[in-house]
A and B are shown apart, each in its own frame.
Chain A
């Protein structure tokens, strides 16, 4: 299979996770789409598949593109748009199962995480990556990923503890 074709299939499988990761970094939907496009383009421009995990490689490319865009356009401190990383027009069966208050608390808790913690949570929960893949994407040791993950989960749990109980 041609490299461009396999990359297209990989993008189709991971598009939601890739977009969420980019959005968690640039905090702007239009810029996030630019970051995803730039990242995919970087992978395509190699002309050959990566030596390691192609999923982690694609995520790393999109993440780096998002960071580059953020630095270039100085939007790291920009306020997120209405709804931030979320879109209230969507409805999910599971969301209907939990009450609205829990959902609001969870969303606020995610927005209040540090950028590094939010990145790990998105890569883990939305992109469904393993810890080793996350370490590869972020370019940090496995222990650092685990520490960020546990701190993020602890912060989220404390925010929604009452609801879960």
Chain B
């Protein structure tokens, strides 16, 4: 595949003779190990699956990245991180009698449940509206042992 001498006629015969002598010198030759390395590398690179899968794999990765970005953009309004907490307090919702209870020791006690409600208040910075979330938090109360 080497191209021929472009203008051998323009070179003096003495120059061509020197070229010929240089070419005849015992230049070092590449080893068989190099040939094996090159063959192995070429064999690896010639695996069709690599070239066939390269573009589809890249396209799939870009598509998935785009889907992730679009989903994140669409869900930005739903993120609770946008709500600013104003404060939290509890309200007492009364007491509910649960009747008698027996402890593991066999002692009989009176039980009741305090109906506390946790109220968290938030403000939406986009609309300025405030709202609250009420969460019941009943607390078990154990009374004194019965006198009888």
Contacts and interface: CB of A to CB of B under 8 A. Distances in A.
B27 A55 contact: no
B21 A98 contact: yes
Contacts of B31: 33
A8 interface: yes
Interface in A17-48: 18-20, 23, 29, 32-33, 36-37, 40-41, 44-45, 47
Interface string B32-66: 01110111011101100001000000000000000
A101 to B, nearest CB: 13
A37 B23 contact: no
Contact of B45 (A23, A44, A131): A44
B24 A37 contact: no
Interface residues of A, number: 63
A41 B28 contact: no
A85 B41 CA distance: 26
Contact of B34 (A2, A37, A87, A129): A37
Contacts of A92: 24-26
Contact of B3 (A16, A33, A129, A164): A129
A131 B27 contact: no
A127 B5 CA distance: 11
B22 A126 contact: yes
B3 A133 contact: yes
Given A87-B27, A87-B28, A164-B14, A106 B3 contact: no
A85 B6 contact: no
Contacts of A94: 20-21, 24
A5 B41 CA distance: 11
Given A14-B2, A126-B23, A130-B6, A156 B38 contact: no
Given A13-B2, A37-B41, A86 B35 contact: no
